[in-house]
Amino acid sequence: MGTVASEPTTQEAPARRRPAAARRRLGRLRGPLLAFLITSGAFCAAWVARGSFPFGNTGRALNDQANQYVPFHRALWDLVHGQAAGDLLFSWRGGFGQQFLSDYYTYLGNPFSWLAVLVPRAHVDLAVFAVTPLTMGAAAAVMTVYLGKLHPGPWWQRGVLGATYGLCGWALSDASYIPMWLWGLVALPLLGIAVEWCLEQRRWPGVALFVALAWFGNFYTAMMATMAACVLLAVRLATREMTGSERLRAVWRAATATVTGILLTLPLLLPSFLSSGAAQPTRAGSFEPVRIEILLSGMLPATHLWGGRPRLYVASLGLILAGAFLFDSRIARRTRLVWAAAALLVLASFQFPPTQYVWHGLAVPNGNPYREAFVFSGMVVIAAWLALAHRPRPLHLALSAALLVLATFVLRHTDDFGGWTWPAVLGGGGLSLLALVLLSLGHRRRYLVPVAAALMVGVVFAESTAAALNADTRRARERWAAPAATSNESISHHFDAVRGVDGWPAYRTDSGAPQTSYNDALALRAEGPQYYSSYLPEATYQALEPLGYGFKNDGRTFFGADNPVLDAIFSIGARVRPGATKNSWTGSKFPAPPLVTVRSGPYASPNPADSVYARQENVLGATVYQVPQVTRGGTATAQTYAAQCAPGSEAYWYSPELFGSLSQGSLSRPLQDRMSGVVPIGTVPASGRLDVTVATRTANATAGSHPIGCLDRTGLDAAVRHLTATGATKVTAQGHTIEATLPQGATGTAVFAMTGVPGWQCSAPLRPFHGLVSLQVTPGTTKVSCTFSPRGLTPGLAAATLALLALASVTVASRRRRH
């Protein structure tokens, strides 16, 4: 009798299925992994070729990367490791205390930013630099997955084209040093996947979570990616076979999931929006579109245009395939027409002011106005994939490559046409065409497929490395983009000197004039006025500018001032200055009033009311300056000033309208108009006569009526002793709360050494006091306190809670239906 094969038992069947399912899951990761490795590898290879830190001595941090992003990541490190002066809502470091939640959302929202907390603090800058290739690689990987949703095809082909997206011109030229913007590069394909789920009528909770993930990373570029997702949805609705009711349901699912996802981010989004509205206004320029030839030249591979120009290119492989997409008759005509029209309309919207404002949230951006360029690059890559997935004919590929060469020839005389463009077009384009032709022949000769694959990977890697190197090299020639060091011996010694004189919250420590960044207070754990943020409140500007603090960026960047009166006003009891030897720093301590002082009544300076010195005295509550009349002479560019002061007093200078240099005796120092603030010019000689010479390049400007103030140090010391004796006996500052214990019988006005930014709620109603937080002290009051809560946080939390409940309800309901 023959035997009959037995069926697997119920225990055996799942055991056999599990390895197969695991292999399928691993197989799906091959394409994204390839895209990630090509993208991050090519970008890092450009660093190696240029000798950039950490692969050489060339500085890596450009512009705001040094001044904002690295310091804010160091602040995040301090926060996570319990060494911050403040918490997620508020930081006492910088600007004499400022909100932190909006800064976190804007500058630290990229999930990869949290890598900074995993390394020693001294190496946080390395983690910040690593965020760029990691985010670009992640964007390429997610785009690879999205391309597979649009049309099936070999994993390695999707991976190569995903890499061309991750290495697009916008990523290499505009966002490579702005880690939070790069999250928009991830958000675009992420939302594209969400669009496909909406079309398939499934995973509504997943769509909402993807929207939330995009917006949690960075609302600015996520907004652009969301608008791009609307375009993708419209294109797919027009090209996919669907009934009218199916289209309406897809739109409804997309709209409701998008609203839910954005509401989940409202605890961050709403406070940031309100903080932006309360920020110091800046002068916004009008949008002026570039000439058409410059716009087109921005599409050529490996082209880095100067200044605020569009960087729209992808690697030659993607451009050749995108051109072939238009010619391939095997692709439905409607599909080709709709995708081409959508890409053309998106490109045209970059040139039309009203639509440009929409892309940027109805605001004119400072700097490059083409910050949404990655959207067009993404659409080019999508067209390239649809062409590659349909096996383009060699004739169509050759025609597209010829058009690329012709366009390069026609545009060769365009402003800023780069020397790397021709090698990319002829070398990279030629090898890309060869690889694509070999691939088209692969269905007959299978051995050509791995050759074509290796060639495609290699040419994208090499061309993108050259493009990244070119962008980095040319950008470094621009004055604003000179690479800066973010870690060296001087910075380490500066940090140690600040820590050596720390006394917070008994007094503040000022790290001195900016040496490391505009956010030295954050970077070095000091508590001075140094602060640079898009959210610097108008209230802070209005409080600090009249007192003689230097600033720039229309008042969104404040610097310190080496002035003992200002130190007394803001409870600065320690200061760090450069030492006598190279890379050395010296800290010194001196008496300072507590953070909370009590004033018995109003005070009016007897000095000229329009002088910065009288304004300082009004806040201090004592007369400590002699403000002499000055005699001006010289010429418009070589001005002389003479004044008479008490011998032995300390002379200070303030001339916010002059840019040049100042000389007094043997002293010489630069003047940088509003950036300089009040500066010391030495001790008044025994004759009492001060002669100051200013060489200025500022046309038709003078130092004003009262540029000189002579400080009576004895009077200031007496004022400090009085404020200390009558001020708080104990001050605690924990997180976003400050509390002070007052001496017995204190009455009058309690003045907190912090600016009255929106969000403070105190134990008594706030009173106006020269822009500082102050409140009435009634008889019998022994303690006063204030708590900071960002405006919009409570309603944002409420909205997010409702969105979370809706998300949970839909998830539970869908699970019940499946079971």
Mean pLDDT of 482-496: 88
Rounded distance between C-alpha atoms, residue 319 and residue 381, angstroms: 8
- In contact, 693 and 676? CB cutoff 8 Å: no
CATH for 625-711? 2.60.40
Kindly state the greatest CA–CA separation across the chain.
129
Q: How confident is the model at residue 481 (pLDDT cuts 50, 70, 90)?
A: low
Mean pLDDT of 51-57: 83
563 in Cβ contact with 477 (< 8 Å): no
What is the spatial distance between Cα 320 and Cα 387, in angstroms, rounded to a whole number? 10
pLDDT for 2: 42
Q: In 333-488, which ranges are continuous DSSP H helix?
A: 333-349, 353-359, 373-389, 394-410, 421-422, 429-440, 448-475
Give residue-wise pLDDT tens across range 534-561. Answer: 999 999 999 999 999 999 999 999 998 9
Residue 471 has which token pair? 């962008």
* Lowest mean per-residue pLDDT among 275-284, 320-329, 777-786: 275-284
Tell me if residue 610 falls in helix, strand or coil: coil
Greatest mean pLDDT among 173-182, 224-233, 297-306 lies in 224-233
Taking the C-alpha atoms of residue 444 and residue 469, their distance in angstroms, rounded to an integer, is 39
Give the mean model confidence (pLDDT) for residues 57-61. 80
Per-residue confidence (pLDDT) for residue 728, from 0 to 100: 97
Q: Is the pLDDT of residue 282 over 50?
A: yes
Three-class SS string for 738-789?
EEEECCCCCCEEEEEEEECCCCEEECCCECCCCCEEEEEECCCCCEEEEEEC
| Predicted local confidence at residue 175, as pLDDT | 92
Percentage of the chain exceeding pLDDT 70: 96
What's the CA gap between 412 and 397, in Å, rounded? 22
Q: How confident is the model at residue 817 (pLDDT cuts 50, 70, 90)?
A: confident
Cα 588 from Cα 590, distance rounded (Å): 7
pLDDT above 80 (res 415):
no
Q: What is the mean pLDDT of residues 574-590?
A: 94
Does residue 5 have a pLDDT over 80? no
Please state the rounded mean pLDDT for residues 176-192: 96
- What Rg value do the Cα atoms of the chain yield, rounded? 31
Residue 705 has pLDDT above 70, yes or no: yes
Range with the lowest mean pLDDT among 18-22, 253-257, 706-710? 18-22
The answer to whether 35 and 457 have CB atoms below 8 angstroms apart is no
Q: What is the C-alpha to C-alpha distance for residues 131 and 108, in angstroms, rounded to an integer?
A: 11
pLDDT at 15 over 60: no
SS3 633: strand
Task: Tell me the average pLDDT across 402-421.
Answer: 88
Give 18's pLDDT tier (boundaries 50, 70, 90).
low
Element (H, E) at 695: strand 689-696
Q: Assess whether pLDDT exceeds 80 at residue 284.
A: no
Does residue 479 have a pLDDT over 70? no
pLDDT value at 51 more than 90: no
> Is the separation of the CB atoms in 380 and 314 below 8 Å?
yes
Per-residue confidence at 259, pLDDT binned at 50, 70, 90? very high
Rounded Cα distance between 680 and 654, Å, is 9
pLDDT > 90: what percent of the chain? 81
Question: What is the rounded end-to-end Cα distance, in angstroms, of the chain?
Answer: 45
| CB contact at 8 A, 471 and 173 | yes
Instruction: Answer yes or no: are the C-beta atoms of 191 and 211 closer than 8 Å.
Output: yes
Q: Do 675 and 550 form a contact (C-beta atoms < 8 A)?
A: yes
On whether the CB atoms of residues 314 and 164 are closer than 8 A, the answer is yes
Q: How confident is the model at residue 23 (pLDDT cuts 50, 70, 90)?
A: low
By C-alpha distance, which of 214, 210, 171, 217 is closest to 193? 210
pLDDT band at 119 (very low <50, low <70, confident <90, very high): very high
pLDDT digits (tens, 9 = 90+) for 389-405: 999 999 999 999 999 99
Please name which of 794, 738, 734, 786 lies closest in space to residue 760, comparing C-alpha atoms: 786
pLDDT tens by residue, 639-686: 999 999 999 999 999 999 999 999 988 888 899 999 999 999 999 999
Average pLDDT of the chain, as a whole number: 92
Q: Which residues contact 450 (CB under 8 A, 6 or more apart)?
A: none
Is 310 within 8 Å of 370 (Cβ atoms)? yes
Q: Is 768 exposed, middle or buried (0-12, 13-18, 19+ CB in 10 A)?
A: exposed
Whether the pLDDT of residue 737 is over 70: the answer is: yes
Which contiguous run of DSSP H or E holds residue 644? strand 638-644
Indicate if the pLDDT at residue 6 is higher than 50.
no
Strand order in the sheet with 689-696: 631-634, 638-644, 689-696, 659-664, 667-672
Residues of the chain with CATH 2.60.40: 625-711
The span from the CA of 426 to the CA of 401, in Å, is: 9
By CB atoms closer than 10 A (0-12, 13-18, 19+), residue 601 is exposed
